[in-house]
């Protein structure tokens, strides 16, 4: 009899916790536009549990009441459910591969067809370190690019607070640990214990509030950096967002994923693998046809080593 009663209590408790989770999901959608049903349960539950413990809530129902009445905790929860881990030139080997394998192809195609527009996109850019890293890379390894091309680097994220910090361009020293010393001296100004990024670099990046689950606001993109976001999604959602990114890319455009991520669903057949260890892929399709004869890459040669630490 005792074990049966305990089983009933456990069942009731489980149903109450499930109902609390559903109501919490609705609050999160309303507060931050994040639909928990689209993400892996174990990841979301783990992050909710962190906030639950921080609030000293004994169970999810108590935590739900806290989130419902406390807008500050709602904001904290939304922030916990999104990823904001970044630094300049995070995974330097990826940026070396961009320099040596992606940029030459992109610039060669541009020269072949006489195009003068260059567009990059950093998805889930957090506080801007990644798109600014792309800007620094262009300015250092291909300085003629910024003079010969109309260059825009888009940085998008779901957190307006992070985007505000990105626009300010002020970073702690730890964020710069992979920036070559010469670049740090040239492009960053010490401000107390932080470093302020030079205006000419900041002008290259356009930040916008955007969720990758919403319609893509850009098109004709040459390179998309989309790292460490797919890993938190279900495979069905991975396929959906990869198709959206595919549609935004130019033919022959490059997609860079996180090192533990990969293509999903029908997207596997839409890209060529360029560098598997660095998760660099290239969109299938007809390569651009020259309108000017042979490509003239004078002044666009890229150096063999940009000095990024391994």
pTM score: 0.75
The whole-chain average pLDDT of the chain stands at 84
67 touches 21 (CB < 8 A): no
Residue 270 has pLDDT above 60, yes or no: yes
155: Cα separation from own chain's centroid: 8
- Indicate the range of 50-59, 209-218, 269-278, 301-310 predicted with least confidence: 301-310
Task: Tell me the CATH number of domain 92-283, given options 1.10.8.60, 3.20.20.80, 3.40.50.2300, 3.40.50.150.
Answer: 3.40.50.150
Instruction: Answer left, alpha or beta for residue 260, where phi above 0 means left and psi between -120 and 50 means alpha.
Output: alpha
Q: Where are the alpha helices (DSSP H) in the chain?
A: 2-32, 41-54, 60-69, 71-80, 92-97, 103-113, 129-141, 145-148, 160-168, 181-187, 199-202, 235-248
State mean pLDDT over 206-225: 94
Domain boundaries, the chain: 2-80, 92-283
State mean pLDDT over 286-291: 42
The confidence band for 31, taking pLDDT boundaries of 50, 70 and 90, is low
Summarised one tens digit per residue, pLDDT across range 66-91 is 989 888 888 778 777 765 567 899 99
pLDDT at residue number 81: 75
The total of other beta-carbon atoms located within 10 Å of residue 273's CB is: 12
pLDDT at residue number 251: 95
């Amino acid at each position: 009899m005792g074990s049966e009663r305990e089983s009933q209590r456990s069942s009731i408790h489980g149903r109450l916790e499930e109902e609390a989770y559903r109501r919490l999901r609705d609050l999160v959608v309303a507060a931050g536009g994040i639909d928990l049903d689209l993400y892996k349960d174990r990841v979301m539950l783990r992050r909710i549990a962190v906030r639950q413990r921080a609030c000293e809530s004994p169970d999810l129902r108590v935590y739900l009441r806290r989130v419902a009445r406390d807008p500050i905790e709602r904001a904290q929860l939304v922030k916990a459910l999104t990823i904001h881990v970044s630094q300049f030139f995070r995974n330097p080997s990826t940026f070396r591969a961009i320099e040596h394998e992606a940029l030459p192809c992109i610039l060669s195609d541009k020269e072949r067809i006489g195009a003068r527009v260059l567009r990059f996109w950093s998805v889930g850019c957090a506080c801007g370190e990644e798109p600014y890293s792309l800007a620094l890379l262009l300015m250092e390894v291909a300085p003629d690019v910024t003079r010969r091309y109309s260059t825009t680097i888009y940085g998008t994220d779901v957190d307006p607070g992070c985007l505000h910090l990105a626009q300010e361009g002020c970073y702690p020293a730890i964020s710069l640990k992979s920036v070559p010393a010469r670049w740090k001296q040239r492009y960053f100004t010490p401000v107390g214990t932080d470093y302020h990024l030079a205006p000419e670099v900041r002008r290259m990046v356009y930040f916008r509030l955007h969720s990758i689950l919403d319609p893509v606001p850009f098109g004709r993109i040459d390179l998309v950096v989309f790292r460490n976001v797919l890993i938190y999604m279900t495979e069905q959602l991975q396929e959906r967002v990869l198709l959206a990114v595919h549609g935004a890319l130019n033919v022959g455009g490059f997609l860079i994923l996180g090192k533990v991520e990969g293509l999903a669903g029908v997207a596997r057949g839409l890209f060529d693998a360029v560098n598997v260890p660095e998760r660099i892929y290239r969109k299938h399709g007809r390569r651009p046809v020259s309108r000017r004869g042979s490509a003239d890459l004078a002044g666009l040669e890229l150096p063999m080593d940009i000095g990024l630490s391994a």
